[in-house]
Amino acid sequence: MRVVDFRSDTVTQPTPAMRAAMAAAPLGDDVFGDDPSVNALQLALAERLGFGATLFMPTGTQSNLCALLAHCQRGDEYIVGQFAHTYRWEGGGAAVLGSIQPQPLNHQPDGSLSLAEVEAHIKPDDVHFARTRLLTLENTIGGKVLPLSYLADASALALKHGLARHLDGARLFNAAVAAGGDPYVAAREITQHFDSVSVCFSKGLGAPVGSVLCGSAAFIHQAKRWRKMLGGGMRQAGLLAAAAHYALDHQVARLADDHVLAKRLAAGLQGLAGVTVEAPQTNIVFIDVAGPKAAGVLDHLKSRGVLATGLYKLRFVTHLDVDAAAVDQTIAAMREYFAG
Ligand SMILES: *Cc1c(COP(=O)(O)O)cnc(C)c1O
């Protein structure tokens, strides 16, 4: 039986062509700024996304944390979504390591934060309050694409109140590809609304490791200091940057294939009793299972060679290493379980 893994788009293996690019990469000591492959990746992303500087990071978590530390001082506050990675999934790092207070807000059904609510939570300059300093958004958020008009409005609101704007763009290119047209142009239309953006290469882009933080030269100078302090100053990191660079050049447009597979999965699960399927916008399918069948569904799927996760809802993520046959195997296993 073939085992198909929908737990995350982080499970992808580097392709033979990506491994070849890694093997051929010229290397140097990146803490000295000497690694040509790291420098080439950083330059390519700065140009493509329209930033003054960028910085290669081991993980998205460290990239977001360095951004928060560079934007905020001790006693500052960032406004963020309840289910945003930078609030819920990063161990409270900004508070633990940066003495930065989060102000979490509930999401609207489309994943956005109500801008009226954001504005209501910006604290006046008063000794009782933390200093509201930063608005942090995420795109895609739970696989949903934030509309460009919303990003423009959120950005204008932040600027009006003197807040910096950070985007957790772990899946920025999924949002860009979903927009249609040239994905690099679409990505820039998103990133233009932010002072800093973090992009993951180890998700749907299919690299084994790595994120890049983008911002102004002065901002990246600060972030680099934090990265070193957090232990993220890597040496011959070009071996990894070469994989990310390969992904940037060759594995962006193909994210559309993942989106098609997600739609195929969602369509195949329609109509099962007790199952509510959210229509996917990109590569993540969320499913609500009501009633007594909820408890055993992951175990059943596993017995049929299908891996998924189910922390809040049942979640399937499509990626480079699954295909239509894997989707159909999953649909069959789900039908079997919910029919029985
Ligand atoms: C995966 C992810 C990150 C970073 O995760 P790492 O595992 O630390 O690389 C950040 N934000 C979002 C939205 C993510 O999905």
Ligand 1 centroid–CA 62 distance in Å is: 9
Ligand 1 centroid–CA 84 distance in Å is: 10
Ligand 1 centroid–CA 190 distance in Å is: 18
Structure-token pair, residue 67: 């951004």
3-state secondary structure of 180: coil
Ligand 1 centroid–CA 170 distance in Å is: 6
Ligand 1 mutation pick, 200, 240, 286, max ligand atoms within 8 A of CB: 200
Q: How confident is the model at residue 291 (pLDDT cuts 50, 70, 90)?
A: confident
Ligand 1 centroid–CA 338 distance in Å is: 32
What percent of the chain has pLDDT above 70?
100
Return d(Cα 132, Cα 137) in angstroms, integer.
Answer: 15
Structure-token pair, residue 238: 């070009």
pLDDT of residue 104: 98
pLDDT tens sequence across 50-91 = 999 999 999 999 999 999 999 999 999 999 999 999 999 999
Q: Is residue 274 within 8 Å of residue 267, measured between CB atoms?
A: no
- Give residues with Cβ within 8 angstroms of 10, minimum separation 6: 202, 203
pLDDT tens sequence across 236-258 = 999 999 999 999 999 999 999 99
Ligand 1 centroid–CA 336 distance in Å is: 33
Terminal-residue alpha carbon distance, the chain: 21
Beta bridge partners of 141: 144
Q: In the chain, where does the domain assigned CATH 3.90.1150.10 lie?
A: 254-339
Return d(Cα 202, Cα 204) in angstroms, integer.
Answer: 7
Structure-token pair, residue 255: 């994210």
Q: Looking up tokens 């905020």, which residue turns up?
A: 72
Beta bridge partners of 167: 137, 197
pTM passes above 0.95? yes
Amino acid (1-letter code) at residue 127: V
- Residue 295, number of CB atoms within 10 A of its CB: 10
**Strand ranges, E, within 96-231:** 101-105, 131-138, 164-169, 196-200, 211-215
Phi-psi bin for 92: left (phi > 0), alpha (psi -120 to 50), beta? left
- Residue 294, number of CB atoms within 10 A of its CB: 15
pLDDT of residue 311: 79
User: What lines the ligand 1 site, CB under 6 Å?
Assistant: 59-61, 64, 85, 138, 168, 170, 200, 202-203, 211
* Closest CA to ligand 1's atom 4: 60
Amino acid (1-letter code) at residue 108: Q
- Give residues with Cβ within 8 angstroms of 178, minimum separation 6: 140, 145, 259, 281, 282
Return d(Cα 68, Cα 212) in angstroms, integer.
Answer: 14
Q: In the chain, where does the domain assigned CATH 3.40.640.10 lie?
A: 12-250
Comparing 263 with 339, which gets the higher pLDDT? 263
Structure-token pair, residue 21: 């690019």
- Residue 211, number of CB atoms within 10 A of its CB: 26
Question: In CATH, what class is 12-250?
Answer: alpha beta
Asked whether the predicted pLDDT for residue 183 surpasses 90, the reply is yes
3-state secondary structure of 134: strand
* Closest CA to ligand 1's atom 15: 170
Amino acid (1-letter code) at residue 321: D
Question: In CATH, what class is 254-339?
Answer: alpha beta
Ligand 1 mutation pick, 63, 82, 85, max ligand atoms within 8 A of CB: 85
pLDDT tens sequence across 194-206 = 999 999 999 999 9
pLDDT of residue 312: 77
What percent of the chain has pLDDT above 90?
96
Determine the atom of ligand 1 nearest the C-alpha atom of 62. Answer: 8
Q: How confident is the model at residue 292 (pLDDT cuts 50, 70, 90)?
A: confident
Phi-psi bin for 46: left (phi > 0), alpha (psi -120 to 50), beta? alpha
